[in-house]
Structure 1
Amino acid sequence: MDGPNVPVGGRTAPLFRTAQKPLESNPIPSSSPAFSTPIHPIRAPKPPEPPKPSILPILLPPATLRPLAFRTFTKKHNLTLTSSALQLIATFIGKHCGSRWREEGLAEKVLDEAAKQWKNNGGGVIVPGEGEELKNILRIIEGSMSGGKVLQNGGLSRQSSFAFGAGDGDGVASEARPDGLRREESFGMSALGVDDDEETDGTKDPRRWLRVVGAFEQPRLTYNVNQKHFEVVGAAPSLLPDPSHKTHLFRHRYNLIHQRLLRNESFQTSSVASARTSALQRTSSTIATQQQAYKLTPIANLLGRTGSSHLLLGLLAISPTGMLTLNDLTGSITLDIQLARPVPEDGVWFTPGMIVLVDGMYEEEGTAAGPGLDGNRGVGGTVGGKFIAYSVGGPPCERRDVTLGVIGEGKDGSLKAGGGFGWVDFLGVGSERAAGSAMRKLEKSVLRGASESSAEGRGRIVILGEVELDNARTLQAIKKILAIYAAEPADQTPMVVVFMGNLVRYAVMTGGGSGGSIEYKEYFDSLASALSDYPTMLQNTTFVFVPGDNDPWPSAFSAGAATALPRSSVPELFTSRIKRAFATANAEADKANGKKTDGEAIWSTNPTRLTMFGPAQEVVFFRDDISGRLRRNAVRFRPLEEEAAPNPDVQPSEDASRDSNAMDPDQAPNDSMDVDEAVETAESHIPAPKAKEPTNSAGSVDLHIARKLVKTILDQGYLSPFPLSDRPVLWDHAGALQLYPLPTALVLMDPEAPSFAVTYEGCHVMNPGSLTPQGRRGVAQWMEYDARTRRGKTREARY
């Protein structure tokens, strides 16, 4: 009989069901249960976890954190925090460091670690707070904090550091950089798949680290005056842009030179000297005070200051009334140069379209508004009266290492960073701060190894100028030059051969002697046949073609006149036969030796840039009849012999450019024109000729013209300092004509100027001249640039 507690079906009700013991982890029973031995052995209790230090979050105002952030980011790491970034960091520190952020130095450690990670990830000098880059860095720091302190376990910096050969990880390593380039696009050993500590046979070839950057490929940057930094232009470029882009072209040029000028020592005031000037004057009247720095006066500020002396910086221009004027961002004024002297005397050209320094006196006309565009007197219009110029000079040039903030190299080859634009990637090959140190180390190793077995070495660039293919003698000269280099061992042949236009003597398809498109293609077919005779060169060398004004298609519309800069490359319609010659040579080498070769032909733009080892070396190639255009448009000054006795008190602008405009005396002489000795500094006098050579010698005159041309272009920092009516420029691509920072070398192919190789402010400037010079039959002339010594020399051969 079933009891009352037995439910139907033989199942116990949940209320009366006995509790089951949990499954024992130790199945072995106690050996003596009678003596109360526990079933399980007694385990030692776990030590109590230390209590986590409590953090009392606070609301930290950004203004309170600003002084500490300025000392850490700006003074220590050369970075600038925006207001949004400061707000983001202040909120983070107030939440995770609490009220102890100041007393225990917790905030300073967070700021220092955030700045280090920002620089390690290739961030720009401006730290914004709108994007995800800074937020990701703060998330990484948050995961490594305990009690408001950043744990220095060595792993924090490695989570997002920019390391060559490292792949993309979590965090900011794969985020977009402020300069518009992603980390994987930066030029470095990681981008090329090469480890920093090991070298393969491919990495020992200097051509492995070579890159040709066309004018339409480099990043479009603009200088932000408020933030004092370069920014990437977000809008897409156009051949028919808005008219405001034309104004921006000149505004950008002015802002670049203005900021470059203000960073010059001659325009900087010493705070120590100014603080003690009054004390020195009271102590002794005989003590010489410190020389006052030069100050620039905006043109609009001349109003009401008649009879006073000023130093102006502005753009030379011709007004609609035919008067020479000086313009800046505030206004314009008529310029009187009857008493003016150029600085240096006969050492530079000044043409409308150039930005110059003018020292003189303002003279106001009380009755007339003065000639101008609209007759207005004040900001935005033409200032009444005229400015009597005493001296006119170019803005002092700035060396490349100063612009990039490189103040020297350490014992390990690493670069010491200073003030400048080292974090800006001007060409899309990596910035100086991010990749410069490792690339310079690699450059020394590769170029030294490539030159050990030969006096010349692999790191050479052969430059052929004015390669007129419709001239029968040109092909003979090319064959002679290629035969010279093809006779060398394959691993010692030059890494680059550059053919610079004009590639024909007359404009194509304009009724000239060079014919039309069919004849133009036949010229390249003949060149391809000549190149095929030297397969060693095609297999181991990069050939670069830089067009001129006579090459298609722009010459079809300009009829031989100046085309718009920068100009595009030669169309692929004419290049097929030459590309086929390179493909055939590489295929034959692969079949015969079993080793892949990668010789190639690159059809680039004018101008074009060639970079070696990332930001370590930059060579600019530009084809233009620039010396003739400078002579035709130059402003003429009063001859020196007609001038009265000079007054030394009216030429203060000489010292402003004296220390920054001397050419480097570091190049050994090669011949009468390939020299680089010290020239006269930027003083207002006629340069004295050398004692060993007569004044009218051809070598002295050619050298003087070369130095005059080089100083004119590099001081402007621009390849086409002319009005747009004389030399058209594509407004949205004018940045490709900038020489800022100065390149390592500049090739100015000008057939009207003598062949030369001179160095000015660390920039080596060369003109190879025409391949077949006039009046010298049977002579081939070209330039050879050595990347190891960073110097070029003129070579000749008879054919």
Structure 2
Amino acid sequence: MDSDQVLPSSSPAFGTPAHPFRKTKACPLPTRTSILPILLPPSTLRPVAFRTITRKHNLTISSSALQALAAFVGRNCGSGWREEGLAERVLDEVAKSWRKAGGGVIVEEGKGASLNAILKAIEGNMSGGKVTAKVVGPEKLPIGLAGQRQDVMGSDMHPPSATFSPDELEQGELALSTHPRHWIKVIEAFDVPRLTYNAEKKYFEIAKSKPTLFPPPSQKTALFRDRYNVIHQRLLRNESFQVSSSGQSFRRSSSTLTSDNQSYKLTPIANLLGRSGTSHLLLGLLSISPTGDLALTDLTGSIALELSHAQIIPDDGAWFGPGMIVLIDGIYEEEENFKGTTLGGNNGIGGAIGGRFVGVSICGPPCERRETSLGTSSPQMTGEVSSSGGLGWIDFLGVGSERARGLRMRQIQAKCLQDKPRDLGSHARLKMAIMSEVHLDNMRTFDALRKLFGLYNHLSLDERPIVFILIGNFVQKAVINGGGQAGSIEYKEHFDALAVVLSEFPSLLQHSSFVFVPGDNDPWASAFSAGAASPIPRQGVPELFTSRVKRAFTTANSQFDRSKAIGPVGEAIWTSNPSRLSLFGPVHDIAIFRDDISGRLRRSTVSTRKGTGTSDTSIHGSSTLAADNMDPVVPHDHIGSQPEHTDAQAVSSISMARKLVKTVLDQGTMSPFPLSSRPILWDYASSLQLYPLPTSFILADSEAVPFCMTYEGCHVMNPGRLIPEGGFSMKWIEYDILKNRGKVKEERL
């Protein structure tokens, strides 16, 4: 073509310009190629997106993200998106930027990164449908004080999970504090992300409805359905339920759940119809039918239970009662005239099926370790995330997911601790002091607190606890109930007296965080419950009663020269029950819950076959489905006193503690009870979830003895009563965060 040849005239089919250009020296063609936008349907772009994003980068793209990418490619690549391969190059750059920004496995807005910010950064570096310059996306922007990156749209971005050298950490994160207390975050139950499990997508989703104290009745059903779905998907990943690739048939015993390299198969309750006399393994919710009989319910139906001959596996290992999800092995008996077989004439799926299920053995669903749930590659939680499943990309607490922030937070933790003194040459120490049933209406409590605070006040700053956790009930009786104004005044005076005690130790107030968790006797729940079980989660102690305590911290911090401070100022945090304490993001997840669970479990447990021992449940059978993988109870650290329990009492206490821990953690929730026994705010039920398992769990049960034990990697601690019955000593727990181990401490008053 010579220099005087004119370009074709404008045509909608070819997208040529309306006014042709001449290639002359006086008027050269523009160097930037203009692109005529086209309307690109998402379904047309889907094969290219699957080939580039899914196969090449192992990412999954949601339908909303695919629609956004189709609009972006059609606008910026035009008709050459397919023939010239422009779309594939753009999608490849989007996937790389998504990974650099710390996005999750699913490319979707709000799942760990901002897709809109990435597309805006790419659009600024495109010419003629091609990416002509290196994209400087959100991952290159400055790091804020909170350790999160801000994109150009102003939304929070999780930092990438890439490895940083110590020099890069020192040069690129000067704004970050190197004191561990800067990385402590107390999360109220009402601030925990409201996640629901989508059984079809095998993924947790954020609830779209606005939470309310008066939700529709469907939320009550969704509460138990979500619990069942979470346990069901957890159970199917257990080795005992994995089918071998060789296609080996299932081998089961009809009487017990034996453990000779077998694969178990669950049977839906609706599939029992027409199979009378056959043995099955059921997973369902124990409940009381309208006729008053014990029943088992799953998503397909309900059936009456007969557990008088059932054996509990393992021996006396757990409690089972209404509101719990259990595994039952037994035989289905179909009887036409069996009492309570039908529910309103509905004999089929969705109702109670005819007949009964005779249980032979019963156990709880096996627990799953935290690293297995998150998909990490080692029990030491190195931060590496496997590519074969796991939920490491989900932010369960609102502090960042394990995949997005885990490895980086561990590097920051190492940097924070590298200059701390070593404890006997082992490692730096981060401690917490945990005490429960701090009755402020008992004068001996203030003597105990003075002695406890005095013990730590004489230690060096590196040996003191960074957090003191005080758990209610803060009064022995619900004084607000029926007390009117006088009850409120009396309750406030108790906290005013606590402020006086705290003011005697200004050094502790200046260098430690004090977390206060209420009980059922504390306001305002006690105003209408009279100390009985009130709905959970519940708000913290109202600010009306805590002003003097906060003033004590303000006074102590004002007297301290902050120029010499090596950490943040001390503070008093009044949180909800339950609540979570996070240290270094997802690295340390500490759940806190105040409830007398053991007593409620003993009162509501179902009757099974009596054993030869003194226990109220069977002591026969064993199974890998309910292996008691527990570390022994940490012994008491008696200071200036003698153990008050005999050997027989100690063995009984350990056994009860094991049952309590196994029952709660296997159920995956802090409250495995029917709503009539322990009311729950339906819209906030996800805040009670213990899945994945926290790194540690403070279960403050005043009716159980103090203990510390580890089950499936989760360290469970019960501080008991600060002043046990008798009042001659005080007990609390000292928790080593880095070792993930606690010790029951005792001191004479």
Measure how far apart 1:769 and its partner are: 1.2
**Which of 713, 735, 743 is the aligned partner of 1:785?**
735
Paired residues of 1:98 and 1:148 also in contact (CA < 8 A): no
Which string of whole-angstrom CA distances, capped at 9 and with x for unpartnered residues, describes residues 121-177 of structure 1?
Answer: 3444433489995465456556667898767x7x33x42327772799xx993559x
CA distance in 1 between counterparts of 2:439 and 2:156 reads 42
Which residue matches 1:317?
287
CA distance in 1 between counterparts of 2:200 and 2:487 reads 52
Which residue matches 1:479?
450
Which residue matches 1:267?
241
Instruction: Write the letter of the residue equivalent to 1:205.
Output: H
CA 1:636–1:577 in structure 2 vs 1: closer, same or farther (change >3 Å)?
A: same
- 3-state SS in 1 of match to 2:550: helix
Which residue matches 1:662?
629
- For the pair 1:215 / 2:189, whether they are aligned, the reply is yes
- Count residues with an aligned counterpart: 688
TM-score by length of 2: 0.82
**Which of 386, 390, 415 is the aligned partner of 2:356?**
386
CA 1:79–1:370 in structure 2 vs 1: closer, same or farther (change >3 Å)?
A: farther
- For the pair 1:113 / 2:93, whether they are aligned, the reply is yes
Instruction: Write the letter of the residue equivalent to 2:746.
Output: E
Paired residues of 2:636 and 2:745 also in contact (CA < 8 A): no
- For the pair 1:763 / 2:737, whether they are aligned, the reply is no
Which residue matches 2:22?
none
CA distance in 2 between counterparts of 1:657 and 1:594 reads 50
- For the pair 1:579 / 2:530, whether they are aligned, the reply is no
Instruction: Write the letter of the residue equivalent to 1:551.
Output: D
Which string of whole-angstrom CA distances, capped at 9 and with x for unpartnered residues, describes residues 666-710 of structure 1?
Answer: x9x54499xxxxxxxxxxxxxxxxxxxx99622222111111111
Paired residues of 2:580 and 2:589 also in contact (CA < 8 A): yes
Which string of whole-angstrom CA distances, capped at 9 and with x for unpartnered residues, describes residues 235-273 of structure 1?
Answer: 221112211111111111111111111222322334x32
Paired residues of 2:145 and 2:176 also in contact (CA < 8 A): no
- 3-state SS in 2 of match to 1:583: helix
Correspondence 1:398-797 to 2 at 5 A: 398-408=368-378, 415-418=384-387, 419-452=389-422, 459-510=430-481, 516-590=487-561, 598-641=569-612, 654-658=623-627, 661-664=628-631, 670-671=635-636, 697-775=648-726, 777-797=727-747
CA distance in 2 between counterparts of 1:522 and 1:513 reads 15
CA distance in 1 between counterparts of 2:137 and 2:652 reads 61
CA 1:404–1:595 in structure 2 vs 1: closer, same or farther (change >3 Å)?
A: closer
CA 1:260–1:75 in structure 2 vs 1: closer, same or farther (change >3 Å)?
A: farther
- 3-state SS in 2 of match to 1:356: strand
TM-score by length of 1: 0.77
Q: Does 371-380 or 84-93 show the bigger shift?
A: 84-93
Correspondence 1:340-379 to 2 at 5 A: 340-367=310-337, 370-379=340-349
- 3-state SS in 1 of match to 2:437: coil
Q: Does 303-312 or 214-223 show the bigger shift?
A: 303-312
Instruction: Write the letter of the residue equivalent to 1:786.
Output: D
Paired residues of 2:637 and 2:746 also in contact (CA < 8 A): no
Paired residues of 1:514 and 1:520 also in contact (CA < 8 A): no
Paired residues of 1:753 and 1:769 also in contact (CA < 8 A): yes
Instruction: Write the letter of the residue equivalent to 1:429.
Output: V
CA distance in 2 between counterparts of 1:60 and 1:187 reads 31
CA 1:291–1:187 in structure 2 vs 1: closer, same or farther (change >3 Å)?
A: closer
CA 1:140–1:583 in structure 2 vs 1: closer, same or farther (change >3 Å)?
A: closer
Which residue matches 2:224?
250
Measure how far apart 1:95 and its partner are: 4.6
Measure how far apart 1:496 and its partner are: 0.6
Instruction: Write the letter of the residue equivalent to 1:259.
Output: Q
- For the pair 1:165 / 2:143, whether they are aligned, the reply is yes
CA 1:113–1:473 in structure 2 vs 1: closer, same or farther (change >3 Å)?
A: same
Which residue matches 1:98?
82
CA 1:314–1:595 in structure 2 vs 1: closer, same or farther (change >3 Å)?
A: closer
> What is the identity percentage for the equivalent residue pairs of Structure 1 and Structure 2?
52
CA 1:149–1:595 in structure 2 vs 1: closer, same or farther (change >3 Å)?
A: closer
Correspondence 1:171-182 to 2 at 5 A: 173-174=151-152, 182=155
Instruction: Write the letter of the residue equivalent to 1:294.
Output: Y
Which string of whole-angstrom CA distances, capped at 9 and with x for unpartnered residues, describes residues 10-49 of structure 1?
Answer: xxxxxxxxxxxxxxxxxxxxxxxxxxxxxxxxxxx99x99
Which residue matches 1:678?
none
Correspondence 1:28-47 to 2 at 5 A: none
- 3-state SS in 1 of match to 2:284: strand
Measure how far apart 1:52 and its partner are: 11
CA distance in 2 between counterparts of 1:747 and 1:300 reads 39
Paired residues of 1:547 and 1:570 also in contact (CA < 8 A): yes
CA distance in 2 between counterparts of 1:353 and 1:535 reads 47
- 3-state SS in 2 of match to 1:421: coil
- For the pair 1:197 / 2:170, whether they are aligned, the reply is yes
- 3-state SS in 1 of match to 2:347: coil
Paired residues of 1:215 and 1:607 also in contact (CA < 8 A): yes
CA distance in 1 between counterparts of 2:454 and 2:109 reads 59
Q: Does 454-463 or 229-238 show the bigger shift?
A: 454-463
Which residue matches 1:11?
none
Measure how far apart 1:329 and its partner are: 1.4
